[in-house]
Amino acid sequence: MIDFKKEVANSILQVVKDLNEEEIESLIEIPPNYDMGDYAFPCFRLAKTFRKAPNIIAEELSKKIEIGDYFEKIENVGPYINFFISKAKLTETVLESIAEEKEKFGSTNIGKNRTVLVEFSSPNIAKPFHIGHIRTTVIGNAIEKVFKFQGFKTVRLNHLGDYGTQFGMLIAAYKKWGDMKVIEEDPINELLKLYVKFNEEAEKDESLRDEARHWFKELENGNEEALELWQWIRDISLKEFNKVYDLLNIQYDSYAGESFYSDKMPRVIEELEEKGLLKESQGASIVDLEPYGMPPALIKKSDGSTLYITRDIAAAIYRKEHYDFYKNIYVVASQQNLHFKQWIKVIDLMGYDWAYDCVHIPFGMVSLEDGTLSTRQGRVVFLEDVLNKAIESTKKIIEDRNPDLENKEEVAKQVGVGAIVFQELFNNRIKDYVFSWERTLSFEGETGPYVQYTHARANSLLEKGEFKLEDEVDYRFLKEEDEINLIRLLYNFPKAVLDALEKYEPSFVTRHIVEVAKAFNKFYNSCPILSAEEGLKKARLNLVYAAKTVIKTGLSLLGIEAPNKM
Ligand code: ARG
């Protein structure tokens, strides 16, 4: 596809000698609306060398620049040189590229097959998989897809919280009050009850905490009973989590969770010791981070048991050795900002030059209308319930509006789940938000179903118009404003994907495809397609195909399906 920004830079380069191409490109701006052109070059920087006022420079240069094939107009407004892209060239390059690259349109090979690890979701075993987990799950999923689309070799990791003192608690509680049959029936809820009960009882009787510590120690020492219980709890929990992953169509390359690193910790502790980083503090071992303005990293407790942070350090070292990653990405809530800063600093202090290839991608908090989520107090909304309710509401809507639809069940799942995922990926990831059933189940406005529906509409047009990609098309037929606006958005899709990659921000893609869908519907309403005369009809169907393709690719990068009919 023609890179018009580069062409702007080239034109400037012909008439300005003391800036290089890169400098020029970095100065090029996108005007606030198309009446002012597609690109603008501000002349302030040239004032010194030209020894003239910027608006005079702009005026003189805009006359000097040769217009060539790529632009239809170059004019100056004040200190700016505005470039208007040739609509014919734009249309041709966009529609030809999409016809040629199809679902790969927007992909590149900037990754050069380098390995990127994306760790996401990572719920805690025996705890509810709740609405708070949706963010890491769907943001991580989308980030992985975007990296893969740009030519990286990606590995999807689920760092399960399957280790730590809470397992001591669970084992102790199970041994006191647990009933295997009851738990098997409804694992997470029953385990949660045990966990809550244990915490309540421990408020009254401190000695319970010692029991929990004892059982965790036993687990670390490989006590058979403890191991068996732990394995059982892990298995039944994972089975529950997989229900959600199945609904979301998410798979992993590895579920190596915290427990996987339990035998890799002695080495890390030794290494920290050898490198002189470990300090005694009240019987515990810490890495002092005061010089870096952070509280110490607590590596080993006084009873010898290791901690969450120790496992993260061990995991990062293991991952580097095992995968030799180019980047090791963690999609984890912003509440853990300090935790990540701390352990990445420890890796740095250990002398690993790849420390900062470990990147923490934080996101904001989800709270409930009646306060924060709290597992201990049992104030949670299960993710599975949210997804299932969304599927149910979608089913009702389908029954109402399109009862004869084929594969109703499948489409209801794709649209219901898509609605939740889309909403989740619509806003900047760092923003906090309050979960509301009402908003979640309303499909009006800029939503997943709206975009999916647009895709289905495009598909039906292509079917009715018996569209064939191989047909000869004359793109010059396309000149209506609503056509050109849609084409501009398609042209900018690859850029939106790259922005999403660079900023680890899937919402660039989400928002872009909403704009594409809106522009498509505007075009659909103002330009007759199937009833147009032959040449125009062909060109318009090509545009429909291009829009459908981009919407589908965009949705798939977000982990959302695009049914052909709905
Ligand atoms: N299991 C943790 C939690 O639910 C998240 C794990 C994040 N990943 C990590 N490598 N620390 O809070």
Q: What is the mean pLDDT of residues 187-214?
A: 92
Q: How far is the CA of 98 from the centre of ligand 1 (A)?
A: 40
pLDDT band at 369 (very low <50, low <70, confident <90, very high): confident
Q: Would you say the pTM of this structure is higher than 0.85?
A: yes
CB atoms within 10 A of CB 536: 17
> Is position 455 annotated as part of the catalytic site?
no
Quote the CA–CA distance of 230 and 492 in Å, as a whole number: 51
Q: What is the structure's pLDDT at 49?
A: 87
> Is position 127 annotated as part of the catalytic site?
yes
Q: How far is the CA of 258 from the centre of ligand 1 (A)?
A: 9
Sheet holding 327-331, edge to edge: 153-157, 115-119, 327-331, 358-361
Tell me the Cα Rg of the chain.
Answer: 28
Residue 443 — left, alpha, or beta (φ > 0 → left; ψ -120 to 50 → alpha)?
alpha
Residue-range domain boundaries for the chain: 4-85, 383-426+437-557
State the closest ligand 1 atom to the C-alpha of 160, by its place in the atom list counted from 1.
Answer: 1
> Is position 181 annotated as part of the catalytic site?
no
Quote the CA–CA distance of 503 and 113 in Å, as a whole number: 20
Which entry of 87, 130, 300, 455 is annotated as an active-site residue?
130
Is the pLDDT at 378 greater than 70? The verdict is no
pLDDT band at 267 (very low <50, low <70, confident <90, very high): very high
Q: How far is the CA of 489 from the centre of ligand 1 (A)?
A: 38
State the closest ligand 1 atom to the C-alpha of 308, by its place in the atom list counted from 1.
Answer: 11
Quote the CA–CA distance of 225 and 115 in Å, as a whole number: 39
Percent of the chain with pLDDT strictly greater than 90? 86
Q: Tell me the per-residue pLDDT of 439-498, one tens digit each, with 9 for 90 and over.
A: 777 777 899 999 999 999 999 999 999 999 987 899 999 999 999 999 999 999 999 999
Q: What is the structure's pLDDT at 138?
A: 97
pLDDT higher at 300 or 378: 300
550 within 8 A of 490, measured Cβ to Cβ: yes
* Pocket probe mutation, ligand 1, options 127, 318, 332, max atoms within 8 Å of Cβ: 332
321 within 8 A of 268, measured Cβ to Cβ: no
Quote the CA–CA distance of 424 and 276 in Å, as a whole number: 45
Q: What is the mean pLDDT of residues 243-267?
A: 95
Q: Which residue ranges have their beta carbon within 6 Å of ligand 1? A: 119, 122-124, 159, 161, 312, 330, 332
CATH 3.30.1360.70 fits 4-85, yes or no: yes
Q: Tell me the per-residue pLDDT of 104-139, one tens digit each, with 9 for 90 and over.
A: 999 999 999 999 999 999 999 988 888 889 999 999
DSSP track, 399-412: HHH-TT-TTHHHHH
- For residue 359, what are the β-bridge partners? 329
Which entry of 63, 102, 112, 133 is annotated as an active-site residue?
133
* Pocket probe mutation, ligand 1, options 156, 313, 336, max atoms within 8 Å of Cβ: 336
Quote the longest CA-to-CA distance of the chain.
Answer: 87
Q: How far is the CA of 160 from the centre of ligand 1 (A)?
A: 7
Q: What is the structure's pLDDT at 526?
A: 98
State the closest ligand 1 atom to the C-alpha of 332, by its place in the atom list counted from 1.
Answer: 7
Q: 548, 448, 423: which is closest to 138 by C-alpha?
A: 423
Q: What is the structure's pLDDT at 364?
A: 95
Which entry of 87, 127, 159, 538 is annotated as an active-site residue?
127
Q: Tell me the per-residue pLDDT of 65-91, one tens digit each, with 9 for 90 and over.
A: 999 999 999 999 999 999 999 999 999
Q: What is the structure's pLDDT at 27?
A: 96
The torsion angle over the Cα atoms of residues 65, 67, 73 and 75, rounded to 10 degrees, is 0
1.10.730.10, 2.60.120.10, 3.30.300.30, 3.40.50.300: which CATH number matches 383-426+437-557? Answer: 1.10.730.10
Q: Whose CA is nearest to atom 4 of ligand 1?
A: 123
